[in-house]
Structure 1
């Protein structure tokens, strides 16, 4: 009887194991952050990660098996491409790229993955051509339902150089093909995006070693809608000039990490930006694949990480997106460093803060950074292109990104500023002006503070230097508009949106909604009594 029960138990266990192998993605660790996965080995610091590069042949794999324990790598990296055949009847198959090894040492991707999976390390697969993306991902997809295929229970990073760096001769992988096929065929992996290698890096001007805000928005086109983890592979020389942009990406409300790498051409003379990046970013969001001299410099210079200041409270604002007819990204992308409005004006940011009651007043303050598309500089930009701050009695009735009610404060790309009362159906509207207008010099960045007192809305707007730009003469404009007092003494709800078309995007480098008490209770009661008496 005991033997029968034991046999039944073993059969059930085998069936359960096969079931987990066939359908058990929940037991795979591929979606986990690689540094979180290595927390014990790295002490939660991506600087302690060791990467085995170009493990592309049988001898390379054997070396990994016999590596001393203390020197063991935590991630194995391989490069895959399609092997070309002279005879057309031979089907092209994915193989590992090995420049210096003999043909006899060449290994197919299928065999390579089986051997690497048994090493129980994180795996990074570098796609060197667009043509190899489909067959490799099809194999990964099929292997998840194949009981004879290796179980990938460690993080898998799928990497491709999809962006062309200035003065680079390396062909890039098509980003649309890579991201779309990875998302559909192997969504458990981390998608890693990088730049093609630059030639003669030391001779390049500093501006070619920086990720601009326009570049960041280009990156968002590919990653903003992804559900799976995303990694950006950035060169050390580029990271030193791109602190603000990289911190913005790390502050997104999604799983985004960085891999910062270096080679002999990275000659860093100013470590200030890199130290700031390491100081402000959470350590398990950045991996460092560096040469020994760069790694040692980091260890000597880097202080303990500190909590960075959030320019935008993710929990204080709710985003609402409406359908868009555009094939490109049209959305509001949120980060702790500020939200970005991209593409068609189909998205709203709604403040979660309940409007205060008179005599309290509320204000919305921040800084807008306009980023025109490259083609928009050759066209006439629409006059209504800018950022709008709406003050509404009720927000439950909103069913469209076009808001035609309440009070609108507008800051335009060309410097136009106005406050407009869009309420048309009240009897007392005839006692109030409908619009107040002002003009500032054209600037890419403006600071603003909108104050709502219930009976008056004031907008203070001024020219402001953008991040990383030189300071300029500050020009200020203040416009005011008296508005009808709300029933019950409550102030208005706050919504931020984009106006115009998709030619002008913008980043809110900071955004805050708060309230304060300014007027005494006695005066407020007297004001309400007089208001009701004369209206």
Structure 2
């Protein structure tokens, strides 16, 4: 499937290059990019659009009842119902300049979602990331999305889109939590080594510090790779952990999709103003 070169370039463009070019950030630093996470229901989507966030993340699954049945809707399991369809969500985001990250928890939603995205492709001249957890990670028990059919389906529509490929994880405050192992990063590299588009690896902040050598090895496999640091709402980590991560990796290669108040504390510590 052939796509316009302009759109191909936009969807694979590094987010730092895009937002620098549009004068929305001032330096080539992944910490400058702000995120709005879980913009699924209409109220959250509208709040995301009013916010200063550069990138808006939302979750897609197939509706299971009524008019939603079989249609991509915006919800995160265990919630399977939504007042917002993907079609309406995309229509609302189009007039903005915000980048988009769509997160899939099952393979069945991917193809119908890509068809809807394809219908508006000419109006989305900005970064687009497509995400799924494709491998089991530290203590991960959730079902993974099968990597090959996921990647094949996405790239059959959009060969140049940025892929966000992660691991399922769990974190237990009462236990010693292992990080991302050498076997985990090597398996991810085996999946990604034959790809040509940018790939970002979403990694859980509370598990990164003990995994820095492994993740640095993975990043160095390709100039196309980056990390996206994310956090669970009940995760126990410190600003010092985030500063350690920041010092360990290339600042151009790490993005921070973290929750408040840690996001504000982290950015204050590194001298970046937070606009909500």
For 1:193 and 1:204, the matched residues in 2 are separated by 26
Q: Deviations over 1:412-470 (max 9, x none)?
A: xxxxxxxxxxxxxxxxxxxxxxxxxxxxxxxxxxxxxxxxxxxxxxxxxxxxxxxxxxx
Does 2:145 correspond to 1:173? Answer: yes
Contact 2:60 2:76 in 1 (8 A): no
Contact 1:189 1:228 in 2 (8 A): yes
Does 2:63 correspond to 1:95? Answer: no
CA spacing shift, 1:127–1:41, aligned 2, 3 Å: same
Residue 297 of structure 1: CA displacement? 5.2
For 1:64 and 1:266, the matched residues in 2 are separated by 23
CA spacing shift, 1:151–1:247, aligned 2, 3 Å: same
Contact 1:162 1:174 in 2 (8 A): yes
Residue 31 of structure 1: CA displacement? 0.8
Which residue in the other structure is 1:202 paired with?
173
Q: Which has the higher strand share?
A: 1
Which residue in the other structure is 1:484 paired with?
none
Contact 2:229 2:255 in 1 (8 A): yes
Q: Deviations over 1:75-131 (max 9, x none)?
A: 1111110112479xx961111117899x7x622212211221221110000112121
Which residue in the other structure is 1:116 paired with?
93
Which residue in the other structure is 1:189 paired with?
161
Alignment of 1:191-270 (within 5 A): 191-198=163-170, 201-206=172-177, 208=178, 210-268=179-237
Residue 212 of structure 1: CA displacement? 1.6
Q: SS of 1:192's equivalent?
A: strand
Residue 135 of structure 1: CA displacement? 1.7
Does 2:31 correspond to 1:47? Answer: yes
Q: Deviations over 1:248-285 (max 9, x none)?
A: 2222333111100123433236947x545422433221
For 2:268 and 2:47, the matched residues in 1 are separated by 31
Residue 23 of structure 1: CA displacement? 5.5
For 2:66 and 2:268, the matched residues in 1 are separated by 53
From 149, 155, 158, the equivalent of 2:127 is: 155
Residue 244 of structure 1: CA displacement? 1.1
Mean alpha-carbon deviation: is it higher for 129-138 or for 54-63? 54-63
From 27, 30, 37, the equivalent of 2:18 is: 37
CA spacing shift, 1:248–1:165, aligned 2, 3 Å: closer
From 71, 78, 86, the equivalent of 2:58 is: 78
For 1:41 and 1:167, the matched residues in 2 are separated by 38
In the alignment of these two chains, the number of paired residues is: 266
Which residue in the other structure is 1:401 paired with?
none
Alignment of 1:376-391 (within 5 A): none
Q: Deviations over 1:31-75 (max 9, x none)?
A: 11112222343322222322112222333333344x2xxx41111
Contact 1:183 1:226 in 2 (8 A): no
TM-score (norm 1): 0.45
Mark the runs of 5 or more structure 1 residues left unpaired by the alignment.
Answer: 1-21, 145-149, 304-535
Residue 196 of structure 1: CA displacement? 2.4
From 106, 109, 112, the equivalent of 1:132 is: 109
Q: Which has the higher helix share?
A: 2
Contact 1:57 1:98 in 2 (8 A): no
For 2:268 and 2:56, the matched residues in 1 are separated by 27
From 254, 257, 265, the equivalent of 1:289 is: 257
CA spacing shift, 1:91–1:243, aligned 2, 3 Å: closer
Q: Deviations over 1:193-224 (max 9, x none)?
A: 122241x5213323x2x112111111012111
For 2:183 and 2:142, the matched residues in 1 are separated by 22
CA spacing shift, 1:165–1:216, aligned 2, 3 Å: closer
CA spacing shift, 1:220–1:56, aligned 2, 3 Å: same
TM-score (norm 2): 0.83
For 1:249 and 1:122, the matched residues in 2 are separated by 25
Mark the runs of 5 or more structure 2 residues left unpaired by the alignment.
Answer: 272-276
CA spacing shift, 1:280–1:63, aligned 2, 3 Å: closer
Query: What is the CA RMSD across the aligned residues, in angstroms?
Result: 3.1
Which residue in the other structure is 2:83 paired with?
106
Does 2:246 correspond to 1:278? Answer: yes
Q: SS of 2:247's equivalent?
A: helix
For 1:109 and 1:299, the matched residues in 2 are separated by 32
